[in-house]
Structure 1
Amino acid sequence: MRALNIILLSSAFNGLTQRAWLELRQAGHSPSVVVFTDEDAVCEQIEHSGADLVICPFLKDRVPQALWRNRQRPVVIIHPGIVGDRGASALDWAITHELSRWGVTALQAVEEMDAGPVWATCEFNLPTGLRKSELYNGRVSDAAMVCVREVVEKFVEGYVPVELDYADPNVRGRLQANMKQADRSFSWHDCATFIKRCIDAADGQPGVLASLAGGQYYLFDAHLDARSGVPGELLALRDDAVLVATGDQSLWIGSLRRKPQPGEETFKQPARHVLAGQLADVPVLDAAFATQAFSTEAYQPLRYRECGHVGELTFEFYNGAMSTEQCQRMVAALRWAKARDTQVLLIKGGRGSFSNGVHLNVIQAAQDPGAEAWANIQAIDDVCEELLSARQLVVSGVTGNAGAGGVMLALAADIVFARAGIVLNPHYKSMGLYGSEFWTYSLPRAVGPAMAEQLTQACLPVSASEAWQLGMVQEIGPRCPDEFALWLLQRANSVLSDPTYAAVRERKSQVDHALIRQCREAELRQMQQDMCFNRHGFAEKCRHFVYKRKACGTPARLVEAWAQSGEVEVTESPVQA
């Protein structure tokens, strides 16, 4: 198949767009990104780029007429719905209605949104209990890549897309209204599973507006619990989450966003932080890891179990963000786990992102954001140091996407296993940071000094397969999260005897702890300049990330030479640190 010049037109260089960019490059094509800013600028960039094809993996804006009317260079929308489905709330409705199957459709842009001819479609089973973000980054992302590959192949073959025909009985999708808060509303007297489904369907954005503790908040990050009480009552506090009674049981709510006043902006924070002044009389459940390590509690951001000579520590922090306090809890958990009579310590993420480093929302909400950032980076360094100093052979299971310090946290392990299809962003520069988490030790150890420099300066994503080729990852496991969890535990149990890792075991006995300390101290000297003295604009970049400011242009690093028709704005699309 001949190589194509492909524009990826997207509202942001998000995880799905990054994955499409990586897959197209791996297939031998040359993708170039255009971040949608204003209609005229987008048309100017694409019309003069010489692109063969335009694919829109994540586009919230309407495709300009000047682009979609050019049938020689089709614009193909990747829509997260089955054939015939239309509207911006496709996944919200699919979760709300508990559909058993859903899909992704690639369709050509026309004047009417989501109504164009179909290029490709891919359906999948839809299990219950998935959050929208989990569905989007999992099954939807997988199906979207199938569609992208099929679109490119068909374009090369001269395929003519099929007009959408609602008279065809195989076309099951229909136009669906954009979901509003009235469609998401619930009463705390409703059953917990129904309320959780409402929150899951609004996960990420926009959340579900509800009354809680005398105020109005958008709710996120819900977990079922068997306790009961007066509906709407705060029953308990555990780590950062509050337990709220429902009509039958209860729900842990991990994150909240206060409903803003006119002209005000608010953002998501851990529930305990948002409700800090209203929790004096709420019982606090013991979360000390030394006494709760083998707990059967339904909600556990940190979970531990043992299998043979492997101790497995699972950490699940919402959106992969790790606050100072979360890092401190993880340090305590690691110290306890390291004292166990095990030979392998397996650390793995939960259902969402593996880790994206420090918690930018908590930092932004602090009275002194610079001081909080400084405390946070030292706390996550403590987590990494516990891994680097472990007696056990440490294995990290990268269960989801990771960015910046989250990548380096994984690399602090002796062996890294990754789930197929994940995306890594091993850099800090786009956030105005030098970087910490022992990256100057762990990254060169994995890929060599020259490649470490290139990865941190280029600020580009890396696929799981590329990470394996570079040496960042030792093995890639199944894409299915449940299959990966089983595979991961089996591989962790075998690493002590596997001859493949003989050199790793030997290296373990020769760790230069003095060099590790020097790396930490040198990194923190640089980070103090960035976080406390704002050397490279970290404060502004953090604020723009938290308040979701729209990009003013496409980062120059994402624009290929063939697509550079004129001036390219140098802007940054940050990941967390």
Structure 2
Amino acid sequence: MKILFLCTAHNSLSQRLYLALSTFHHVTIEYALSEDVMISATKLANPDLIICPFLTARVPKEVYENYMTLIIHPGPPGDAGPSSLDWVLLGDNGTVDNAGELLNTLSSDVCRTHWGITVLQAIEQFDAGPVWAFEQFSINIDQQTLSKSELYRGAVSRAAISATLAAVRRIQDIAFSTQKPLTGQSEVEGGWSAIELQISPDIRPHPEYKTLSVATQEPFQGGPTFHRPLLKAAQREFNVAKHTAQQISRRIRCGDSQPGSLSKVFGPDLYVYGGIVEDCPEGPNPGACPGAFPGTVVATRNSAVCIATCDGRGVWITHVRRPKKAKDAALWPKVPAVSGLVALGVLTASHVQDLQWDLPNNWAKSPFQTFQEVWIDFVSYAPSKQAAYLYFDFYNGAMATDQCSYLIQAMDYIIASSTSDNPVCAVVLMGGQYFSNGIALNVIEASSSPATESWLNINRIDDVVHYLLHEFRSRNIVTIAGVRGNAAAGGVALAAACDIVVAGSDVVLNPAYRGIGLYGSEYHSLSYSGRCGPQKAYQILRSMTPLSPFQARSIGLVDHVFPGNGSLLDKRIRNHVAVIVRSGKLGRIPWTAKQELSPAVLAQARAKELSEMAQDFYSPRSVRYHSRRFNFVRKVKPKQTPLRFATHRRFGADHLDEEEHNDFDDVEHYQRQFELQLQHHFHITSGATTPLSSTRDASSIRDTSSTRDDLHSPRGNGETMFSCYYAPVKA
């Protein structure tokens, strides 16, 4: 079939669904930027079916009345509204109908045991159309670190894939059953194949599709459902005098990663993120802040802060974002809590140091619930043989400069723990909720010099990869990437640098850097070519489209794909590692054994990659990266759908995305553009009435940093995505 996706953004769910459907169907994608755009996309694509995996806008009547249009709603049948996941994570257990009353009664420990997703047909009323499929899953809203975004990427996405595939099959079956074969031909004789299947929006699903879940054929197990309104950021505010650590955690995690909980706990209005409960039996930072009032910052660790709660526990705030004021051109970046609070004067550097609360220096997983980014699990699989599982759970998978340094400290500890009597034979990178997404764009955007911070960050993440390619290899330690969460850009290259890459079947890989305007580093020029060959490596870097683990395995980027998720996937990875450690055999020759990786080769590859990255950060070409980073971090609404996704808008071979043109990499092209902008700038500011001469000598002003920064700085004049959440607040 021809399928059109209408989405607010091509996010983790829509990417997974695209990969699942595109094997058997032609799928094209359009960002739902306006009603006119959605209508024109439908006319151009003329799809058999429209699917809306992630849509915050209303589908135009002209579309859903003429085409079967499916909405994927992140709630079970009967649930409706734009904040379904927010409400359930906040503690809505279905016992209170009125939403206003519900906000005042969210202290119950009785929570839903199940939640679900519904695939329903678009009609005029939101989330009220005929149901074509629903799926449910168990949920524990007090599971450590379970945020809205983690729930969405995990259980919600898996249920959505299952239900959507079932809905597509059901629609096809009903359409086939109502379709008449060509005159004179029977179904057996091929009458069906002789005509195009017509899917009318007037066909109706069977009633049981609404009442029985796809996988278990059981009714919804999670209790009554209602229409809930938009849950605004300010409605997630918590009262430290009466809300327990658990209740505060829920109010923060239900808005993470967007919009956050708008809170005054630190004084000024701030969106706060994280919400990890501190469960140390002796209280948070015992002895450092005895008798601290609820809401007081009592501990800092790895750029996060812990506030005391009224029940003698604590809650970790990992990140903050300043709210957008009417005078602000765009959203503020989301930054680590310590740096954000120091910048606002809420904390001082000495205060941060005094409140530093380190975990034990053995790098083990803490025995109690707390904020912990990096830990190591040493496992002995045979006499005198051990493996080190290295976990690094960085927020949104972003690896800032200091986090890379912290990870290197852990790697040094692994090396120091390997002795002749009990050697470490394997290091397994396990990542966290994400595996890794490379450098930390929010931290970079918030820095006083984004170019300098970008340079520091990429060099430090290169240092991490150097450990995989040299430090561990020189000690005969096998490196294995256990990719249990999504990975992008430098995160994919980080995994690819390992001897062996094992990926979960549910993950999505985005190897390309190009979409953010970067050449990329992390020794990808060695690992991608060594694994996939030069031609295929070039293709995956230029295509800028997601890969499934199976596609990645077919080209050599991944070695093994294991089904499952969570503890089941962890067990399968550990079983695989156990076989390797006990046998001393990798199963096949890894790419690192076939590719020369001498110090000279590594140094040459790094120098070449960083020379390109320097141009991405500092040369006239840097405008592509700085502007794209600005738009990504500050959630500027895109102006159009990239043609690599919207194939229905490719009107010829010369109809290309900006990134597909060769001059996208040409520094001289950007230099010429800069000089033209410079001439126009001085023409306007000087009040000249005639164009400046094209031969004017700009050499004296070309390198003036203030002029270049002014001309190359991104402008925040675009509409903000999810503006319902981020409406400007009064100054």
**How does the TM-score come out when normalised to structure 2?**
0.73
User: Do structure 1's residue 396 and structure 2's residue 481 form an aligned pair?
Assistant: yes
Alignment of 1:187-226 (within 5 A): 187-189=239-241, 190-225=243-278, 226=280
* Number of the residue aligned with 1:123: 136
User: Do structure 1's residue 139 and structure 2's residue 155 form an aligned pair?
Assistant: yes
Alignment of 1:328-339 (within 5 A): 328-339=405-416
Alignment of 1:38-77 (within 5 A): 38-70=34-66, 73-77=67-71
Give, in whole Å, the separation in 1 of the partners of 2:316 and 2:515. Answer: 34
* Number of the residue aligned with 1:299: 371
Task: Indicate the structure (1 or 2) with the bigger Cα radius of gyration.
Answer: 2
**How does the TM-score come out when normalised to structure 1?**
0.92
Q: 1:317 to 1:382 in 2, by over 3 A?
A: same
Cα deviation, residue 127, structure 1: 2.3
Aligned with residue 398 of structure 2, among 309, 313, 321: 321
* Number of the residue aligned with 2:674: none
Aligned with residue 100 of structure 1, among 109, 113, 137: 113
Aligned with residue 426 of structure 2, among 341, 344, 354: 344
User: Do structure 1's residue 243 and structure 2's residue 306 form an aligned pair?
Assistant: yes
The one-letter code of the counterpart of 1:76 is: L
Give, in whole Å, the separation in 2 of the partners of 1:90 and 1:413. Answer: 40
Q: 1:293 to 1:492 in 2, by over 3 A?
A: same
Matched-pair contact (CA < 8 Å) for 1:349–1:397: yes
* Number of the residue aligned with 1:178: 230
Matched-pair contact (CA < 8 Å) for 1:9–1:54: yes
The one-letter code of the counterpart of 2:618 is: C
* Number of the residue aligned with 1:6: 3
The one-letter code of the counterpart of 2:338 is: R
* Number of the residue aligned with 1:548: 635
Give, in whole Å, the separation in 2 of the partners of 1:149 and 1:115. Answer: 20
Matched-pair contact (CA < 8 Å) for 1:56–1:75: yes
Q: 1:572 to 1:222 in 2, by over 3 A?
A: farther
The one-letter code of the counterpart of 2:593 is: R
Worse overlay, 140-149 or 218-227: 218-227
Give, in whole Å, the separation in 2 of the partners of 1:157 and 1:23. Answer: 19
Give, in whole Å, the separation in 2 of the partners of 1:340 and 1:200. Answer: 36
Matched-pair contact (CA < 8 Å) for 1:321–1:357: yes
User: Do structure 1's residue 80 and structure 2's residue 74 form an aligned pair?
Assistant: yes
Give, in whole Å, the separation in 1 of the partners of 2:517 and 2:87. Answer: 38
Give, in whole Å, the separation in 2 of the partners of 1:35 and 1:294. Answer: 42
Matched-pair contact (CA < 8 Å) for 1:121–1:147: yes
Q: 1:99 to 1:540 in 2, by over 3 A?
A: same
Greater relative CO, 1 or 2 (CA 8 Å, sep 6+): 1
Give, in whole Å, the separation in 2 of the partners of 1:561 and 1:10. Answer: 15
Aligned with residue 471 of structure 1, among 548, 556, 559: 556
Task: Name the SS of the counterpart of 1:456 in structure 2.
Answer: helix
Alignment of 1:277-288 (within 5 A): 277=345, 278-279=347-348, 280-282=350-352, 283-285=354-356, 287=358
Cα deviation, residue 404, structure 1: 0.3
Matched-pair contact (CA < 8 Å) for 1:117–1:163: no
User: Do structure 1's residue 364 and structure 2's residue 358 form an aligned pair?
Assistant: no
Identity %: 34
User: Do structure 1's residue 161 and structure 2's residue 210 form an aligned pair?
Assistant: no
User: Do structure 1's residue 430 and structure 2's residue 424 form an aligned pair?
Assistant: no
- Describe the superposition over 1:516-550 as per-residue Cα deviations: whole angstroms up to 9, x where unpaired: 22111100000000012251510100100011011
The one-letter code of the counterpart of 1:543 is: F
- Describe the superposition over 1:39-59 as per-residue Cα deviations: whole angstroms up to 9, x where unpaired: 112201212322111000000
Cα deviation, residue 511, structure 1: 3.8
The one-letter code of the counterpart of 2:229 is: A
Task: Name the SS of the counterpart of 1:550 in structure 2.
Answer: coil
Cα deviation, residue 398, structure 1: 0.9
Matched-pair contact (CA < 8 Å) for 1:115–1:164: no
Give, in whole Å, the separation in 1 of the partners of 2:588 and 2:120. Answer: 51
Q: 1:136 to 1:77 in 2, by over 3 A?
A: same
Task: Name the SS of the counterpart of 2:551 in structure 1.
Answer: helix
* Number of the residue aligned with 1:37: 33
Name structure 2 gaps, 5 residues minimum.
92-110, 176-202, 213-218, 285-291, 381-385, 419-423, 661-731
Aligned with residue 16 of structure 1, among 6, 13, 17: 13
Q: 1:84 to 1:534 in 2, by over 3 A?
A: farther
Name structure 1 gaps, 5 residues minimum.
none
- Describe the superposition over 1:227-268 as per-residue Cα deviations: whole angstroms up to 9, x where unpaired: 243201111111110011011200111111123333323231
Aligned with residue 320 of structure 2, among 246, 256, 259: 256
* Number of the residue aligned with 2:646: 559
Task: Name the SS of the counterpart of 1:495 in structure 2.
Answer: helix
Q: 1:567 to 1:8 in 2, by over 3 A?
A: farther
The one-letter code of the counterpart of 1:115 is: A
Worse overlay, 110-119 or 271-280: 271-280
- Describe the superposition over 1:170-198 as per-residue Cα deviations: whole angstroms up to 9, x where unpaired: 68432112213454222113211111111
Worse overlay, 189-198 or 206-215: 206-215
Aligned with residue 311 of structure 1, among 369, 372, 388: 388
Give, in whole Å, the separation in 1 of the partners of 2:40 and 2:595. Answer: 58
